[in-house]
Every structure is written in structure tokens, then in C-alpha cells.
Structure 1
Amino acid sequence: MLTSKTFLKKTKRGNILKIVREHYLRDDIGCGSRICKKCAIINENAILDDKLSSSISKAYVNPHYLIVDTNVVLHQIDVLEEDVLINVIILQTVLEEVKHRSTSIYKRLNDIINNPNRKFYVFVNEHHKDTYIEREPGETANNRNDRAIRVAAKWYDEHLFENQRNISLKKVIRIVLLTGDTDNKEKATQDGIFAASVEDYIYCLKDSKGIEDKLSKQEISYNEDSKEIFPCHLTPVQIHEGIKTGKLLHGSFQASKENFLEGQVNVEGYEKSILIQGYIELNRAVHGDIVALELLPEEQWSAPSEIVLQDDEVDNEEQIVESEIIKPKTVKEKTPTGKIVGIIRRKWRQYCGILQDNILQNSTRHIFVPAEKTIPKIRIETRQAATLIQQRIIVAIDSWSRYSRYPSGHFVRALGKIGDKETENEVLLLEHDVPHSRFSDKVLSYLPKLPWIISDEKVLNNINMFMNCLKQIAKRTDLRHINVCSVDPPGCTDIDDALHCNLLSNGNYEVGVHIADVSHFIKSGTALDEEAALRATTVYLLDKRIDMVPELLSSNLCSLKANEDRFAFSCIWEVTSHAEIVQINFCKSIIRSRAALTYEEAQLIIDDKKQTTVLAESLRNLNNLAKILKKKRIENGALVLASPEIRFYLDSETHDPIEVQAKQIRETNSMVEEFMLLANISVAEKIYEEFPEYAILRRHPCPPPSNFEPLIKAANYLGFEMDTSSNKNLARSLDAAQKKDNPYFNTILRILATRCMLQAVYFNSGMVTKDDFYHYGLAASIYTHFTSPIRRYADILVHRLLAACINADPTYPELLNKKKMNDICHNLNYRNRMAQYAGRASVALHTHMFFREKVQDEEGYILFVRKNALQILIPKYGLEGTLYLAPVKGGEQYVNFIYNEENHTQSYKEIVFHTFDPVIVQLSLDSSNIQHEKLIFKLVKPYIHNFSVPSVKQDTEKSQSNLNLSASEKRKEGDAFSFKSSSKKKKKMSKQ
């Protein structure tokens, strides 16, 4: 059946345009219930039960199916995920609205629908002849959809009743509409439909199983006498008008990790972020929200606070005097400062953390403390506090009233016991929004079937496999005769790249970079491709790896293992002995790696002159050419930066850290890096040449001059001048800054320089001007990522573009959709950033585990001097931590340090602390805060009376001396038993 609607539209030229819209209606769409005889023929996939023994609700006598509206799905998805709710009808109207308004909730709803045990049935009401309705004149789209839901619910109720005429009225299966809209509920009731709010329905369940804790409370009423804490947010119309007229700015709010009374908003067109200080000015913004803000008059501008808050201060934030924390006493370098006046888009998600102890017994109201310091505490209601108080839990924010100091939320689920390693890893992944659930069956269905073999010699007995093998080989350049090898970190199983180098008859070299051809297995538009695009990157934790693609690909079929035939994408250059490129060739290939080496193994082969094999000579030539390439890059302005990195050695059974040390960088690390960089640049040039509007590239923006201020000040103190006018001048300045008496000085300087940099990002070439393509850190005019497709989705896109360039594969339509590629690039940048943060958090977690029950003295250097603390770097472990220069507020003040804002120094009497100064600190783990274990840094040297602590060595010697004295005294008293006991203790201590 076809229905059509005709309407007239006036064009800009004044002409009248007649538009006809057609809508197809069907009478063969089943209701999905097994009880329905009328739909028996077309109800092949009926999943709704035909027999419900009794009602699960105390409020409804009849057994029933549920229909939910859009608001219920959007706001109560945590409740819908509970197994107690089954036999639910999801209308097409609702499904499409949810898809339009929230991708994440749409995905969660589909997961429920695809679970056969939940019996969620999708009814296509928009194409059913009895449930489709037209939008009436003057009716809003939202009101039309609400009416469509009521019409479908009414039809279902009557349709089912027709099939149950001979059944007792109390046993007739009815329809209950769950709605989050009071007006919709009243209209449904007037139409004779059973309707209820989710709250009312859940509270009437016979077996709620704590499900009421998961109810999202969108509106909380407050008394008229309630004190208003925050100003009202502007309405969307007011915000739009303010931005349009230039009175308001907008951007992403980033809360400070060191000071909960402070944050910043990144506004396009402003060199510096807009500073926000104070509870009122923050005005209920949560980290990540897109906010509207008003810039304050310049005389009210301030500067970021120099104070670092300790955890116990944050836990007692109500007692903190705001003026003491957020306002520097003297503001010399003001920065643009504003206040938040409205929220454009919330970025709320689910948060991990713990419940705060409640002094009121049997109270249902509790304070949740998030693990992430940028997130405020959240008020929740739960009747399970006694069980949850020792567990890590997940909570979601529902609302934040201007009458409440904290937002309100609801309990989602418990993760496990606090301190349990698996629980802490789960928290780490959730807090950094890392997709880590198992790959779905639909995704896995797109993997190749095993056995999967390339070599034609092994498949002669299988004619289909043999013919497929011949087709694949015919399309590719066979490079299995070349001595290719890979060089990676120890334990690497996802080997994306391999190298070779041959001396040519003309004296030049043939150098090849061979990259795993992941795009051969992941076709555009498949569920496997969509999952890889969502995950965007493999996330490396210290004790596990969260793969972007299933393990069959990442560690097996795509991984360039030794002595295995593999499909590759090869970039092959002819270069002179001076590393000058003569020509480049790109091809899809088949390779057979001769060896999978670690950096150390490759270095040993290069250094051992007795080894003269083809592989050894290849590695030496690659190493020599890499040195030339690196020298050229640095001469062009490429930066050699540094960051503290450590390597943990884990127990093979428990995976607990047993040893930690700073990572060693060898020549072979640089060798691999140089050829990967060369391949990425060469591929970037090729895809941009062929697809100037659609190339996926990577750029590194030049930092604004203000970013370099801490670096310049720190270097000036020791008499070194940092020229930051260009990357080339900065590189020269860093090279020149050397101190013979401090060999680690230059490394610290480069670490500080790294902190000044902006984030490198992926982008679509058609969305950015060519002048902005530049990669500041690499001094490259154009750059991309091609060399790690097993662990980066960006590389897969680049492979597809390059394959189209050389006619190895057809061009995918999606690759030429600038808007879609731009959206993908945004996700790539976000996931890449979160993966980096997750990796750092994993290092911090294992560092805490390593230092548990340990107290050690270590040499360190001052990285930053703050108003109340020193940031210390420990080179041995690559650790960074905070040494607070005063006890917690309210404690006894032992010494009065004087902070010099001009020179960024801290002093006490004749002792002055500057950036780069060496110190000796004592490291120990403070586990008093179960939410945030932290490394405690205490000063050992230079010694300050009543502030510094004795070294561990001194403490040990003192205890040994006391032990010997005690034994001597007891021997004089003739207490032989006590003497023997003391001797045993002494031996035990010496063993420890």
C-alpha cells in the first residue's frame, strides 16, 4: 500500500514548487507475539512469550508486554539492561529517535535487542498500515512521535485482545506503556492504555533486586527556602543569540587535576585558553562539557593558581577557603578569564569510584567520590551501601540543580573489591573510555576461516583454496626471495613492519619497508571494520593489550612472523649511499620474514663484526643509512625530545612488578624509527598527490609562544637562552644547553620542551589549508601514518587510499566523503589521546604495586617549582611526583618556605630550590586513601631541620646499632634466651 502527501514550497525566485512524498505501508508486519494467531504466518521470528504465568508487578493484575518511549530509553538505559525486564516492544519510532540523539545508547539498546534471552522485539510501526500516522498541521515532530507511540500501544493492546477472547480477563496479556513524559502518560491513560513512569513501575516490581538504585532521577525538587548556590544557566536561545552577537564564547571545558576550583575553556581563535576560577564561575560545568562563557573585563583577569591540592584537601573541599586557593597574591601575567553562563552540550558518561563513608546509619543518601580528579563528587541514593562501601562502583550523573553543591546521579553497577588488580585495570579502562568488551559474534563472523594459508605448495589437495591462492599471488609482487626481518620490543606479537636493504649493482641501495596488509582482511562497511573504526587504536597496558582487531588478525594472520608467508604493503626506495632518494615504488606484496628480532638482538648482530650473513649486512646498511636520514631531519629542524619512560619486569604467574628500570634506547630503535618516518612521509606525498581533497594526514601544530614560558625561564636561570622562534632554532638551543656537572640536565630540558608541545592530530586534507599540514616536531611539510595498521585505524584508511592510488584496490565511496572522514578523524584523535592516558595510568598503577611495603632513597631533579610544592623527576625509574613543602592545611607548620613568583624558586634560610637542582628524596607508598594510592616524596637532601627525613640507610644503621646494644645489655644480664632471639632477628634483618 502506498500513501503520499503533497505540499507546496515557494522558491527564492518566487516560483511555487510542488513536492510529493511517498510512504509505503504494509499489512504483512507481524506483532512478534507467539500468542497471535492472526500474525502466525508472518510471525516467523516471534519472540514475545505466549504464556506469562503471572504478573511481575504488584500494580498490574494482568500479565503484560512493555512498550517504552524515547525518554525511557535515553534516560533509563541502565534499568533496561537489567534481566528482570523481558518481553519489551521497541517501536521503530523510538529506535530511530534514539539513534539520532545518542549513538552510545543506541548501541547499548541494540545489544539488548540482539540478546535472545531478553525478548526485545522491534516493531516497524512507521510502515504498518494500522499504526502509521501523519504529522498534523502545527504539530511538533516530538508531539507527533509521542502520538505515534500511543497509537501503536493502543493498536497492540486491541490486537492482542482479539487473539485472547476465550481467556479469563485476568490472564489476558495486555500492554503497559512506560513513559518519561507526564503529559504523554495522561494522554495514554485517557486513550485506555495502561501507562506508568519507570519509577512507579520499578517500585511495584515483586522482585526488584536492587534495580531501584539504577533509576535515573532527572528532576529533584527543592524547598522554596533552599539556598541558591549557582546562578541560572542561560537558555539555548539566549546562548545562540549571545554567540551570534559576540557577547558569549563557547568551547570545551577542561577541569584542572590539581585544583578543583579551577579549569579552562579552549576557545577557537584564542591563543590561550580562557581561565575559569571559583565555584560560581565554574557554574556546574563538568570536565568535557561544551559550554558558553562570558569573558570578564580585563581588569578582572587572573592567572592560574600555583597551588597543588593534596588528596585529603580535595576530600574536605567544603572547608577550603576559596580565596586562599584560587587567587595568586600578585598577578603579574594575567590571562583571559571568564565565567560559564550556560551548557551547550553535556559530555556526561559513567564514572568509576567509591562511596564516601556516611556517619548516618541506615541512610540511603550517599556521596560518590570519582576516581578521576576532574569529576566532582556525586550524590546518589542506594540501599546497598553496606555491600558497596568496599567496592569500586560505577555511577552516572542525572542532573545538577543550582541548589546543590554536587550533581545527582544513580548507581549503575559494582566492579569488584577495591585494590584487586583486575578491578583496578577495569577502572582504568572505563575511566579512559577504552572499548574493551569481547568482539561480538557478528564482528568475528567476518574473520577468515582457518586454515588460512598463502603458500600454494600446501594447498594442492584443496582446489578452491588453491585457486584462491593463485588469484591472490597473481595480484601481488612476490618478494619472498628477499631477506626481510622485523625489529621490535621484546614480547611483541603484533608485528606490523619489517625491513630489508640490498646493495644494487650501480652502488645504490634498495631499501624496503613492508607493512602488514590488514586492509586485505578488513573490508569497508563490515561489522569488523566498524568495530575497528570505533576502537581506533590498540591500547597497551603493562600487563595486557586491548586489541583494535581480533587476535586472529593482530597476533596471527596479519603479524609478520618469522618464516611465515604474509600479505604486505611494501614501500621500496632506491637510495644513494648518502640516503638520497632516486625513486619510490609502492606495491601489494607477499613476504617471508627471515627473523623476528628484538632491538637488543638486532644491535648485537650489528655490533658483532664477525657476523657477515646477508641479514647482518642488511641491518648494518640500514643502520648507516638511518644515521644519515636522522642527521638530515635534525638539520631541517626536527626536534629530539624526551619523556620519562620505564620498563617493568613482571612475575610470570602473578603479573605483579618485580623490577623496574628506565627504558634503554639503542641505535636500532632509531634505525627502525627513521625508516618508518620515511615511509610515512613518502606515502603522505603520494596519497595527497592523487587525492588532494581526501587524504588522511597527520599534523603537529606549532605551539603558541606562551607555551614555552616555563622552558625559557628555567633555562635562563642557568644562563642558557632558548630561541623558540622556530623548531630549528629550538633544536639548536636544546643541543647547546649542556652542563658537564649535571649529565641529566639536557634530558630534563628536553622533557620540559615536550610539555610545551601541542597534540599531533589526524585530519582530512580537504578540511584544512595546506599551510596547516606542517608537522612541527618532525619538521615535515606533510606526514601521515602508514606503518602500524594492526594497531591504528588511521593506517588502514591510508592503506585503502594508497591501494586506490596504485590501482591495487577500488576506491571506497566512504573515503571520498569529507564529512564522514572528518568525523572519523575526530574519533581517532580522541581514542589516541585516551589510549595514551590509559597507558600512563597503567604505569602509575604498577609503580604503586612495586613500591608497596618499600621505602627507598633515590636521586632526583626538580622539574617544576610550584607555590606549595616541587615536581620531582626520578631518572632511575622515569617517575615523576610531588614533594609538598608544607603539611596539610591545619597541621603544624614546621618551616616557612618563601615562594618567589618572579624566579619560580622556593627558599628556606640559605637553601634555595630551583628548576634542575639535584635532590635526594625518599619514596614510599601511601595507601591511607583507598581511592587514590600515591607515591609520597619526602626530602632527604639538602637537609632542613624539622622537614627533611633521615635516609633509609641511616635508619637501618641506627636500628642495627640499637639491636647490638640491646643484645649486649641482655648478655650482661645473663639472659641467654633473649640474646639468641636478638641474634636471630639480626640475621633476619640482614637477609632482608
Structure 2
Amino acid sequence: MLQSNTFSRKTKGGRIKKEVREIYLRDDIYCGATACKTCDTSRARLDASAILIFDTNVLLHQIDLLENPAIDNVVLLSVVLDEVKNKNMAVYNRIRALSTNPLRKFYVFSNQFHKDTFVKRMDGETPNDYNDRAIRVASRWYQTHLGPATPVLLITNDRENKRRAVEEGISTDTIQSYVKSLGQPELLDLLVHPASESEDVAMEQVEDLRPSKRQVVYQEHKPMSEITLGLHRGIYHQGKLRVNRYNPFEAYVGSESIGDEIIIHGRQNMNRSFDGDIVAVELLPQDEWREEKNLSIADEEDEEEDDVHLAPSSADDAPRTTNLVSGSATETNPTPCRPSGRVVGIIKRNWHSYCGSLEPMRMPAGTGSFTSALFVSKDRRIPKIRIQTRQLENLLDKRIIVAVDSWDRQSRYPSGHYVRVIGEIGDRDTESEVVLIENDINSRPFSAQVLACLPPLPWSVSSEDVTNSIRLDLRSLQVFSVDPPGCKDIDDALHCTALSNGNYEVGVHIADVTNFVHPGSPLDDEASQRGTSVYLVERRIDMLPKPLTEDICSLRADVERLAFSVIWEMTSEAEIISTRFTKSVIKSCAALSYVEAQARMDDSRLMDPLTTDLRNMNALAKIMRQRRIDRGALTLASAEVKFQIDTETHDPLDIGMYQIREANQMVEEFMLAANVSVAKKIYDCFPLCSLLRRHPTPTREMLEPLLCTAAAVGLDLDVSSSKALADSLDRAVGDDPYFNKLIRILATRCMTQAVYFCSGDLSPPEYHHYGLAAPMYTHFTSPIRRYADVIVHRLLAASLMIEKLPSVFQDRTQLASIADNLNYRHRNAQMASRASVELHTLIYFRKRPTDTEARIVKIRSNGFIVFVPKYGIEGPVYLTTRGEKGGGEWFVDEPQQRIVKMDNSLIYSVLQTVRIHMEVVEPQPNRPKLQLTLI
């Protein structure tokens, strides 16, 4: 049966377009109930108990409740899913996950295509009324179809929809009433309450709002129509709000319209915006713009004061063109004020779930009733969130997850709801789980569908693999790998063979992951979503299942493995004569650690073939490295640390800076060369759909913090090009060997992150990788741990006509979406790794107060930020006590980047070495921190 529906949609240009969609109605769409006598039940998922049908708003707002196993036997109507997908893709993905989870009873019913539940639009009917009517028709059909033996309940909070459902004889209830009827009080905590119900007089227990508590706290947000007009006229400015992670009352909004960052001071000017929100900002009158000379280091205890303004503590937190000036009253050159503004509207919210704990409070008299409490996020950028719970006593000593529901302009804090308990506060496993959740890292076990894609174990290379015409048999070559100690997921291996003509054959062999991860498979979909493996101090969260990462794909010693190889012929001066790409079979002769490889190269007594190959390869790598540096590649540095972990307790036993050896640089050089060669090959064949990686050139404003620091210590850095900066950094030699590394660390922090992109979305000059001084670059060498490399392997295979190019590469919009997800996942993995280091640093120093040397890296009006080279730690050192405004008896000499006592008896300058004491303290309940104090 053929039907049609007419609907209107808004185009990207803002025009309203009427469309007619033909619909073929079917009679073979089944209800999904096991008790049904008329439908095919082979794929039925619903049992004989009450069947629930939720309307759109319940799905959108109560997803945390729906994910609880107590809510089951649910019919998901296609009309509802379509509306959810249009309004919130994140919620839609969570609902689809429920529908595919074999342990849950969620059944998708295509009501729009069923002959008995299809609803034709009526003239003048609003989309909302149409959807509600379609939901009621489907609910009534289920009720009639299954009969009285299987109750069907429509869950809706829409009064009009509920009234009409009752009139039509449909059993219906509100979500609140239904959850109460289940007799499980803990489920009530999961409910999102309507905004009109968000205020509660019981909040007097936790909010000292005095008699004016119902007065307006924040300005009303402008409607989108007014915001759009204001943006068009230049009255408002759009951008992403970034909250200073060391000061929740100071934020920055990057604005392309004024070419600068707008500073937002204080909660009132932030106007209920959250970190990551896309906001509309109105500039304040210029006489209200702020100077930044009085910025100070944040104090944990200052967070209750709405009027404190604290210092940026990292490149991510500081405005790009910040110029701090002296705090002295005698200064003669006033600092230009920075653009300051206030948020007038939220264009796109960035709300999600947050990890933290409840603020300690006295237990109220009586039990079993709702109690209001304040949730304090582990992330200092997030304001306290008010929740209502029946489980206060059980939650006070727990790390919990809370989601934000609303923020009324008459409330000091946003309202939210409890989601679940993570574990005991202070427990290492709990705090590690918090790190993963806060950074949106999927650490769930791989599903049965994903694991079903793996070949059975034990697996070995077959005779068909060896004789396959697309593969080169390289098992006779002396192939070896060099990795961190204990590495099990070995992506890459190398070989270096001296040729009779005096040249060398050098090969980079990469695990052939795409031989096992096929496009569109559940395994591929999972890897695409995860994007990357995540490395914490004590564990690794794999992008792919362990049978692949540690066995089938891992290029372990003395076993045959499938590889994708890049093979060059090089002269003794590392000039590339020719390049080949081929699938291959290899057999590694050794899996060396960096320390082992370095020891072999350094031991003049060793002359065996493997050591000779290592030395030859290292000699080539040194030439290649110098050639890159001569082209302008930067040799930067990071504060990467390593821990020695107790194998039984998993507690840290020791901590220190990660040591880079020649062996590390040797491997890095050939990985870079392989990535560059592959980038050129795939781009030549697929100039519009290649996945590449670019590193944008930093602006002078971004480098300003580095230039100010360098000038203060007498260095003149040339940042006109990467070559000029590299040469300047080479000349930056101080009185001690660590000085140059410290300058390079500071330079690294001024850079933007490299990002993945689709080649068809940018012009070739924008492909440039600034840090590597490479006109074109990609990632090919780590497919076990990065999905970007999986994509590039498929592109390379297609360029060699080994495999067909998957259909996804024909859709640049989808490719751009994949690149965006990869960038998001890569950044989150980095943030999770850093947070894991911070957590284990706290654990390590909790029982080990330590005195050590530190270097001053930033000056503030009430102290300075130091970097501790021995442990790779950065933190604030205070010179004033809490409550002193500005720097008290100290003032900042901005040109010299130093803080001076008023009587000139003490001076602390940037990059100066100081002695500090480090110990773990807890200035606020459940918020331990590493405190650094001068000795």
C-alpha cells in the first residue's frame, strides 16, 4: 500500500521548503512481544509483563532513568526516535545502544510504515501534534493487538497528550507516577524534574540565600531570534566559552568578529553558561573593561566568593594576547584594558554528566523523604549543582555522577539529578574511573557482536596468506621492533639491509589491522567510535579487543605476522632513491625495549647482525633528523613522567621524568618518514578524500607568553617561521643544562594541537604541519591504537588497487564527521592520561612529603607558578595569605617578569630556581591537592 506525507523543513539558507514523502506501508512489521499469537516471534524481545511506550520528551529528558535495568519491556516508536535524533544525537545514540543490547528488552517498532499505525498529516497540524497523535495511534494498536493479557502503558508528561489518550481509552501515566509505583525509591533520584518544579523551599538547608532567595540572580537569556539579529548587526558576538580551570569565576570567549578573546568576569556576567557552551556575548562599556595586572593564583577556598578573579594557569586557560602588568601603584605605563563582556544567551549547551561528591552536611531529621544537597564536581570549572535525593546518608562518602537538568535565573546554582554511584571517595580504582568518565572514555567490555568478528584463537599465518599475490614474503629479512618496556601491542617493526651498491634497503612494517577489521562491521564501528587507545598510568583501554592488539596483530618476536610495509632504497646519506608499498608477511627476530636497543648500539663489543642493523639505521636516522631540523622542524619538549607501579597493589613506587634516548629518536624518525611517504601516495590517488593531519602555524599572539618570558631572561626569539624559531631555541642556552629544555617546554605549550582533516575540505597550503615542517602528513604507523591509521591503511590499499575504496570515502561530510570524532577522542585521551598522572602523583606524595628544586615559569600578583623538573609537576606557590587583595606587600615588575617585595628585600624572577616543600593537603572536603610552599 502506497501513502504519502507532506511536511515542511528549514533549509540551511533558512528558507521553509515543503516536501512530499512517499511511504510504502507493510503488514509484516511485527510487534516484538513473545506472547503475541499473530506475529512472528523469532526476533521478539518483549515479555508478557506490562509494555511501556514513551513519548519523545520522556526519552529526551529521562535517558539516565531508562538506562537503569529496572526500566525494561519498552517499545521505541520510530516516530519518537526520529524526533529524538533531530533534537539530541547524543541521547539518540544512547537509546539505540539500549535497543541493540541483548540484555535489555527495548524493541524498535516502525509505526510510520505499518499499515495499521500509519498516520497521515492533517492540514494545519503542527509537528508536535502530529507526533503525539502518531504515538497515541500506535499505543492504541498495541493495546488492541495484544489484548488485556499484556498491559500496555503510554508514559507521557504532556497534559494535553495524556488527556486525549485517556479519552481514546489508552492506559497512560506520567513518568513520576510510574516510577513511584515501582516501589524502588532509588529510581526517584534518577528523575529529571520539570523546570517549573526545580525550585524547592527545602533548599534552605543548603543555600544561605537569605530572605531575598526568590529574587532574580541572573539576567534573562535573550531569545534566539533576538540573538540572531544581534549577531547579524554586530551587537553580539558568538564563541565557545572556556572557563579558567583554576578559577571558576573567569572565562574567555574567542570571537572572530572582533579578532580577540572576550574576558567574562564573575558568575553574573557568565550568566548560567557552562564551560564549552556556545554563547552570545555583549561587550561591556569600555569603562567597565578590566585590566589584567591584578590577576592572582587561585585559592581552593576562594571558590565561594563570586567576585574573585584568579590567574590563568595554563596556555589553555589564558587569553591568547594577555599582557600582565605591574601591580605596583607607581607604574607609569597603564596597561590597555582587554575586551570584557557578559553572556546574553546560550546558543548551544554543553551539559553532560559530571563526577564529584556531595558537599558535607548534617543529616536531616527523619528518613525516606527527599533531601536537597549540593553536588561538588571534581572539575573546578563546573558550578555546584543542586540535587534532591532519598539516599543522602549512603552518598555522602561516595563519588557519584550527576547530570544537569536546568538553571533557573532565580537560582544561584543549576538543578540536576543523581545518576549513579562510582565508588568510595579516595579509592584508587574509583578515582581512575572518574578520570575515564570525565573524559568520555569508553572502557566497557567489548560486546559479543564485536568479539564475534575476531578470528578464533590460536591464530597463525596461513599458507594462503603467504602465497597471496598481494603479499610479499619478507620472513627472511631481519626484522625487529623497538618499543617501551613491557609493550604488548606492537604496531611497528623495522629492517635495515646493506645493499651491494652501497645503499640500504630500509623497511617500516606496520601491523595489517585492516585484514581483520572490515568496513562496516561491528568491530569497525566500535573502533571508529573509540577512536584511539587510552593510556593511563596503571592500565590501557584498548581501541580493539586484546586478542587483536596483543596477539593476532601484534608484531611479536619469533612469530609470523601480516604487515603493511613501506620500503625505501636509501643512500648512505639517507637520500630516498625509491619507495615501495606492499602488504607483507614478516617474522620479527627481536622485540627490543628502547633501553635494550640503546645498550646494543652503545656496546662497542657487539658486532652481531642485529646490532649492526641498529647502528646503520640510527646513522641514517640522525641524518634524516638533522635534515628535518634544517628545513624548520621544531625540537620541542614535554613534561612527560613515568611511574614505577607496584605489581600487587598498583600503587606508585617511584616517579620521574621520561628519558628520551637515541633509540627513541631513531624509531620516531622512520615512523615520520613512513607517514610522510604514505600521505603523498594516498593524496596523489585521492586528492579529495584523504585523511591527513595538519598543525596550524601559531600566531604571534599565541607565542606572546613565550616571547615575554624569553625577553625577561635576555633571549631574543625569532618566531617569524618555524625555522627561525627552531634556530632561536637552539641558541637559548642558559647557565644550567635544564634551561634549554624548559624553554622548549614553554614553547610547546604555546602551540595549537595538530588535527585530522579531509583533504577536500582545505586548500593544499593549509595541509602544512608546522612542527614537523612537512607540507603533507598523515598517521599510518599505529593502526592497533589509532583509528585514523585504519582509515589511512584502507586508502593506501585502494591506491595500490589491492582493495576497493569503502563507500564512506565518497561522502566528504561523513569523512569530516569522522575526523572531528578522531580529534575529539585524541584530545580526550591526552586529557585522561594527564589526569591519571595527576591522580597517581597525589597518591605517591600522600605519604611522602618532599623537598626539592623547582623553576618559576609564571609570575602572578600573589605568587608564582613553578615547574618541578624531577617529577614533571607544575603548581602554584603563594606569597600572600588568603584574603589579601592583589599582591599585598608584593608587586609585579611585568617587563622583567618578576615579583618584588615592596621593600625590595626579596625578588623572584621567571625561570629562577627555588627550593620548595611538597605535600598533599585537603583544603576542602574530598578535594585533595598537592601543595607547594617555599622553603
TM-score with structure 2 setting the length: 0.91
Aligned pair partner of 1:311 in 275, 300, 304: 300
1:794 deviates by 0.7
Structure 2 residue matching 1:211: 3-state secondary structure: helix
- 8 A contact 1:603–1:668 mirrored in 2: yes
Aligned letter for 1:336? P
How far residue 115 of structure 1 moved from its aligned partner, in angstroms, is 4.4
**Paired residue secondary structure (2:573):** coil
Q: Pick from 188, 192, 195 the counterpart of residue 216 of structure 1.
A: 192
Which amino acid letter does the alignment assign opposite residue 233 of structure 1?
Answer: H
Q: CA deviation at 1:310?
A: 1.6
| 1:333/1:681 CA distance change after superposition, 3 Å | farther
Summarize the alignment of residues 470-869 of structure 1 with structure 2, pairs less than 5 Å apart: 473-739=468-734, 741-869=735-863
More displaced 10-residue stretch of structure 1: 512-521 or 195-204: 195-204
- 1:19-168 maps to which residues of 2 (within 5 A)? 21-37=21-37, 39=38, 41-50=39-48, 52=49, 64-115=50-101, 118-161=104-147, 164=148
| C-alpha distance after superposition, 1:675-700 (max 9, x if no partner) | 11111111111111111111111111
Structure 1 365/589 Cα, relative in aligned 2: closer, same or farther at 3 Å?
same
Is contact 2:503-2:569 (8 Å) kept? Answer: yes
Matches within 5 A, 1:327-366: 332-359=335-362, 361-362=364-365, 364-366=371-373
* Aligned partner letter, 1:903: Q
CA distance in 1, matches of 2:767, 2:308: 47
| CA offset digits 1:422-446 (Å, max 9, x no partner) | 1011001001111111111111111
Name the CA distance, whole Å, in 2 between partners of 1:262 and 1:545: 35
Query: In structure 2, how many angstroms separate the alpha carbons of the residues matched to 1:433 and 1:604?
Result: 40
The DSSP-based 3-state class of the residue aligned with 1:450 is coil
Distance 2:2 2:124 in 1: 24
Distance 1:442 1:324, change over 3 A: closer
Q: Give per-residue Cα distances to partners, 1:870-914, cap 9 Å, x unaligned.
A: 1111111122121111222279x9983223344332122322111
When residues 502 and 667 of structure 1 are mapped into structure 2, their CA distance, relative to the original with a 3 A threshold, is same
The 10-residue stretch of structure 1 (182-191 or 401-410) with the greater mean CA deviation from structure 2: 182-191
Q: CA deviation at 1:322?
A: 6.6
What is the CA distance between 1:124 and its match in structure 2? Answer: 2.0
Task: Give the deviation of 1:173 after TM superposition.
Answer: 4.0
1:274-301, Cα deviation, whole Å (9 max, x unpaired) = 3222222211111111222223455544
Q: Given the alignment of the two structures, is residue 251 of structure 1 paired with residue 251 of structure 2, yes or no?
A: no
CA deviations on 1:487-543 (whole Å, 9 max, x unpaired) are 111111111111111111111111111111111111111111111111111100010
Give the whole-Å Cα distance in 2 for the aligned partners of 1:384 and 1:149. 35
CA distance in 2, matches of 1:261, 1:479: 61
Give the superposition deviation at 1:119.
2.9
Task: Supply the AA of the counterpart residue of 1:904.
Answer: Q
The question of whether the paired residues in 2 share the 8 Å contact of 1:72 and 1:178 is answered with yes
What is the CA deviation profile of residues 369-406 of structure 1, one whole-angstrom value per residue up to 9, with x for unaligned ones?
00011111100001111110000000000001111111
**Contact 1:786–1:796, Cα closer than 8 Å, also in 2:** yes
Cα distance change, pair 117–537 in 1 and its aligned pair in 2 (3 A): closer
2: CA distance between counterparts of 1:299 and 1:806? 64
Return the alpha-carbon distance in structure 1 between the equivalents of residues 262 and 46 of structure 2.
55
1:278 to 266, 272, 276: 266
Query: In structure 2, the residue corresponding to 1:381 is in which secondary structure?
Result: strand
The structure-2 alpha-carbon separation of the partners of 1:34 and 1:833, relative to structure 1 and needing over 3 Å to count, comes to closer
Distance 2:542 2:290 in 1: 45
In the alignment, the residues of structure 2 paired with residue 722 and residue 621 of structure 1 have an alpha-carbon distance, to the nearest angstrom, of 36
Partner residue of 1:904?
897
**Amino acid paired to 2:296:** I
Residue 860 of structure 1: SS of its match in structure 2?
strand
CA distance in 2, matches of 1:707, 1:26: 60
Whole-Å Cα distance in 1 between the matches of residues 881 and 94 of structure 2?
47
Call closer, same or farther: CA 1:585–1:885 in 2, change over 3 Å: same
- Structure 2, gaps ≥5 residues long: 10-16, 201-211, 313-317, 319-323
Q: 1:481 to 1:854 in 2, by over 3 A?
A: same
CA 1:842 to 1:5, structure 2 compared with 1: closer, same or farther past 3 Å? closer
- State how far apart, in whole Å, the 2-side matches of 1:648 and 1:324 are: 30
- Structure 1 residues 234-245: aligned runs within 5 Å: 234-245=222-233
Cα distance in 2 for residues equivalent to 1:601 and 1:116: 47
Q: Over residues 924-959 of structure 1, what are the superposed CA-to-partner deviations in whole Å (9 max), with x where a residue is unaligned?
A: 11145443221111111xxxxxxxxxxxxxxxxxxx
- Match among 140, 148, 151 for residue 174 of structure 1: 151
Q: Is the 8 A contact 2:637 2:744 kept in 1?
A: yes
Partner residue, 2:3:
3
User: 1:770 corresponds to which letter in structure 2?
Assistant: P
Matched residues in 1 for 2:651 and 2:405: separation? 38
Q: Tell me if 1:876 matches 2:876.
A: no
Check 1:476–1:297 CA distance in 2 against 1; reply closer, same or farther (3 A cut): farther
Code of the residue aligned with 1:294 in structure 2: it is: E
1:714 to partner: Cα distance: 1.5
Q: Which moved more, 1:423-432 or 1:289-298?
A: 289-298
Moved more, 120-129 or 693-702: 120-129
Percent of aligned pairs sharing the same letter: 46
Q: Is the 8 A contact 2:354 2:377 kept in 1?
A: yes
Preserved CA contact (<8 Å) 1:78 1:214: yes
- Take 1:527 and 1:451, find their aligned partners in 2: how far apart are those partners? 22
Q: Structure 1: how far apart are the matches of 2:693 and 2:780?
A: 11
Partner SS for 1:220: helix
Contact 1:642 1:747 (8 Å CA) reproduced: yes
* Structure 1 pair 868–693 and aligned structure 2 pair: CA distance change class (3 A): same
Q: 1:981 maps to what in 2?
A: none
Structure 1 residue 549 displacement after superposition: 0.7
| Pair 1:665–1:786, CA change in 2 (3 A) | same
Asked if 1 retains the 8 angstrom alpha-carbon contact of 2:712 and 2:895, the reply is no
State how far apart, in whole Å, the 2-side matches of 1:289 and 1:7 are: 31
Shift of 1:6: 8.6
Report Cα offsets for 1:614-651 as digits up to 9, x if no partner: 21111101101111111111111111111112211111
Q: Distance in 2 between matches of 1:103 and 1:255?
A: 25
Matched residues in 2 for 1:21 and 1:103: separation?
23
SS at match of 2:469: helix
Whether contact under 8 Å (1:217, 1:399) holds in the other structure is: no
Change (3 A) 1:413 1:573: same
TM normalised by structure 1 equals: 0.86
> Is the contact made by 1:259 and 1:307 (CA closer than 8 Å) also made in structure 2?
no
Tell me the secondary structure at the aligned position of residue 493 of structure 1.
Answer: coil
Matched, 1:197 2:174: yes
CA RMSD of aligned residues (A): 2.6
Alpha carbons of structure 1 residues 475 and 614: separation in structure 2 relative to 1, 3 Å: same
Q: Aligned equivalents of 1:839 and 1:530: distance in 2?
A: 24
Contact 1:868 1:884 in 2 (8 A): yes
- Larger mean CA deviation between 133-142 and 425-434 belongs to 133-142
> Number of matched residues?
893
Matched residue of 2:93: which SS?
helix
Q: Which amino acid aligns with 2:915?
A: I
Q: 5+ residue gaps in structure 1?
A: 10-16, 53-63, 165-171, 457-467, 941-992
**1:76/1:5 CA distance change after superposition, 3 Å:** closer
